[in-house]
């Protein structure tokens, strides 16, 4: 019974390169949430996706960042032309649906991807 | 907009003693959920305990319990019989299935808990 799986665990990129972070939700979950944690801070919401749809991207920077959750395969968070300020831990959570009820809340996280920019 | 405030950046407790971590939140919703997460040095986010706002009974998970005061919008975490492995950052989080946040977790800034042997 696998939980949320994220890879890679650690990713090192040079300034100007692209970073791709992957998140496989809990089996059967169709909603994915991405969060970013800067050093010494709590997690901040970035984007909420359903299969093939972006529901809420209000927390995602307008430039260089994009996210997708295709019909098949994991959700991808893509950061183009990375800068030092993108260094952070990126976490993913999933939920079975977006209705009420405690069990439908995206409360279980993957282990995160630690992105370091040289 | 909903906010979560943790007013204690750092706390310390003696092994086997009890410690309480504070959390307050602001919301206009009546139905919502509250969580406490533990983040050890490995940086994983581990769910410790959760509370549904419409349930008056305080949630309990082994040595962890909460004091949920809905009218005061307070959600404190009590750790009893503290163990060395409890040392970590603790984050309080809020979400509601309604309104703008719709399932998005809103986190406090965290409290760093140290456990002295």
Q: What is the spatial distance between Cα B23 and Cα B36, in angstroms, rounded to a whole number?
A: 9
Q: Which candidate from A33, A100, A109 shows the least CB-CB separation from B45?
A: A109
Residue B89: which pLDDT band, with cuts at 50, 70 and 90? very high
Phi, psi angle pair for A22, to nearest 5°: -115, 145
Q: What is the pLDDT of residues B2-16, one digit of tens each?
A: 899 999 999 999 999
B1, B103, B108, B110, best to mutate vs chain A, most A CBs in 10 Å: B103
Can you give the pLDDT at residue A102? 60
The enclosing H or E element of A83 equals none
Residue B103 pLDDT exceeds 70: no
Can you give the pLDDT at residue A106? 63
**DSSP letter assigned to residue B33:** E
Q: What is the spatial distance between Cα A47 and Cα A75, in angstroms, rounded to a whole number?
A: 11
Q: What is the mean pLDDT of each run of 10 residues along chain A (118 residues)?
A: 88 98 92 91 91 90 95 95 96 78 71 96
E-assigned strand segments in A3-105:
5-7, 10-13, 19-24, 31-37, 43-50, 53-56, 65-68, 75-79, 88-95
CB contact under 8 A, B103 and A89: no
Phi, psi angle pair for B84, to nearest 5°: -55, -35
Q: What is the pLDDT of residues B14-70, one digit of tens each?
A: 999 999 999 999 998 888 889 999 999 888 899 999 998 988 899 999 999 999 999
Can you give the pLDDT at residue A63? 95
Can you give the pLDDT at residue A29? 86
């Amino acid at each position: 019974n696998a939980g949320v799986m994220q890879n890679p665990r650690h990713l090192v990129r040079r300034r100007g390169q692209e970073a791709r972070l992957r998140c496989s939700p809990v089996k059967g979950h169709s909603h994915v949430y991405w969060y970013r944690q800067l050093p010494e801070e709590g997690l901040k919401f970035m984007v909420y996706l359903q299969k093939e749809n972006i529901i809420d991207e209000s927390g995602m920077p307008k430039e260089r960042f994009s996210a997708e959750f295709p019909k098949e395969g994991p959700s991808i968070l893509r950061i183009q032309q990375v800068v030092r300020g993108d260094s952070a831990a990126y976490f993913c959570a999933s939920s079975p649906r977006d209705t009420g009820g405690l069990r439908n809340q995206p409360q279980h996280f993957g282990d995160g991807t630690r992105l370091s920019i040289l | 907009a909903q906010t979560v405030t943790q007013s204690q950046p750092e706390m310390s407790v003696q092994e086997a003693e009890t410690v309480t971590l504070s959390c307050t939140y602001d919301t206009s919703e009546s139905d919502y959920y509250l969580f406490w997460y533990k983040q050890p040095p490995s940086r994983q986010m581990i769910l410790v305990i959760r509370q549904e706002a419409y349930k008056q009974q305080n949630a309990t998970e082994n040595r962890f319990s909460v004091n949920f005061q809905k009218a005061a919008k307070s959600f404190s975490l009590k750790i009893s019989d503290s163990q060395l492995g409890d040392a970590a950052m603790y984050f309080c989080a809020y979400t509601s299935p309604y309104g703008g946040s719709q399932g998005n977790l809103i986190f406090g800034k965290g409290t760093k808990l140290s456990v002295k042997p």
